[in-house]
Amino acid sequence: MNRKDAIYRIAIILGSTLISPQIFLTSCHGNSQIIDDEATINTFNEIAGIIIPKTDTPSAKEINVAPVAISILKDCYSDEIQKLFKDGLDTINQMADKIYGNKFIQISETNQKTLIGKIATEERAHTNSITPHYFKLMKELILLSYFTSEIGATQALRYLPVPGKFIGDYPYKKGDKAWATT
């Protein structure tokens, strides 16, 4: 190898080390449609508490699933889906204001449940397969955040902390909890 080839190769290597991080970082800037302010988190937690209420396990509101769900939404979903979520929260607040004269988090728990029931009925009637209904998206995020949390996995589901052999046909009795996976 002559000096000219060596300088050329060094220039290529150095140039690629300077350019490569920029290429990878271009996808790291956030153009998120979601504003994760206190009002958004509180509203979403109220909805989560209705979707997964307190039973013998804590409710989704009690374990504060909203920050995790919104983080998943911001990091893993397209701008179009993020806008759908944001517009859905706005729609819920507008419906609450129109029907009850206040924002969703300011109306009574009974009225919140009634309103969510109306939205759930609307969601079941939604047949557009291209774009999901905003409430379906919200339910998916709530379920994902709840059942992947420590409390959801260990209290709402059956959890065996020590790994063991795989038993594909583990006995099931009616009323048993589902298994959490690790």
Instruction: Tell me the pLDDT tens digit for each residue of 140-182.
Output: 999 999 988 888 888 888 777 666 777 777 777 888 877 776 5
Is residue 9 situated within a structural domain? no
Is residue 6 situated within a structural domain? no
Is residue 22 situated within a structural domain? no
User: What six digits make up the tokens of 143?
Assistant: 């379920």
Is residue 70 situated within a structural domain? yes
Instruction: Tell me the pLDDT tens digit for each residue of 76-130.
Output: 888 899 999 999 999 999 999 999 999 999 999 999 999 999 999 999 888 777 8
**Residue 122 belongs to domain spanning:** 32-155
The total domain count for the chain is 1
Is residue 182 situated within a structural domain? no
Q: Read off the pTM.
A: 0.74
Is residue 88 situated within a structural domain? yes
Is residue 136 situated within a structural domain? yes
Is residue 150 situated within a structural domain? yes
